[in-house]
Amino acid sequence: MRRAFPAALVTLVLLLAPAGAAAADSFTFFGSGWGHGLGLSQWGAYGLALDGWAPAEILTHFYSHTRVVAADRQPARLRIGLAQNRTRYRLRAGGGKVDLRLDDPKRGDVVATIPNGETWTVRLAGRKYRIVDAAGKRVGDPVGGPSTDLFASYEPNTARVRVLEAGHTYNRGWIEFNVTGCSSACSMRLMRSCRAIWPR
């Protein structure tokens, strides 16, 4: 679906052109963004809806060879993959502190706390998580591993966390770190868990 650009924007571009420059035959605009990587274009879906497509038609258009049916039971929580196959992730705390908890996002031991406004790193140290503060200093010993996950807990602190490698800021739920692929070379993946809100 094509996006129309406001006339004011085109006028501004023309006004900023050098006085003696020859008029261009055409303009090329480039756009980008952070999609969820699962194949549904938000602008495309919006355009199809304006053309009268039903929700099920739009979904099966973008997710071919699928069927849309009503679920017997809807999950209370959703887990969404954010990033994978990395050996480090940088987290920036905003609006409050972010606790790093071991083994459970609510009741697990707090092994470190990222102060508001700081960016800390969680990286692999063998098969465990190494936490590094904003000054590049190690925080405690490596913790967790393939069978003991690490969680960035921010919602109870009314905080937000920005994951630089994912390019997004989150304010609900928590971020779950998993050590995976250790049969060859360990890496980490990030999952976001949050309460599901379903339309009535």
- Per-residue pLDDT tens for 64-110? 888 888 878 887 877 888 888 999 999 999 999 999 999 999 999 99
Taking the whole predicted model, whether its pTM rises above 0.75 is answered as: no
> What is the distance of C-alpha 131 from the center of its chain?
20
Average pLDDT over residues 26-35: 54
Confidence band, pLDDT 50/70/90 cuts, at residue 5: very low
> What is the distance of C-alpha 37 from the center of its chain?
10
Is the Cβ–Cβ distance between 179 and 129 less than 8 Å?
yes
- DSSP H or E segment with residue 38: none
Span between the terminal Cα atoms of the chain, in Å:
30
- pLDDT of residue 55 exceeding 60, the answer is yes
- pLDDT of residue 60 exceeding 80, the answer is yes
Q: From the CA atom positions of the chain, what is the Rg in Å?
A: 22
Residue 49: CB atoms within 10 Å? 13
Confidence band, pLDDT 50/70/90 cuts, at residue 187: very high
- pLDDT of residue 124 exceeding 90, the answer is yes
Torsion sign (Cα): 6, 7, 8, 9: positive
Average pLDDT over residues 105-132: 96
pLDDT of residue 2: 44
Q: Which of 80, 74, 76, 118 is nearest to 96 (CA)?
A: 118
CA–CA distance, 150 with 177 (Å, rounded to integer): 5
Average pLDDT over residues 8-31: 50
Mean pLDDT of the chain: 83
- pLDDT of residue 33 exceeding 80, the answer is no
- pLDDT of residue 25 exceeding 60, the answer is yes
pLDDT of residue 32: 52
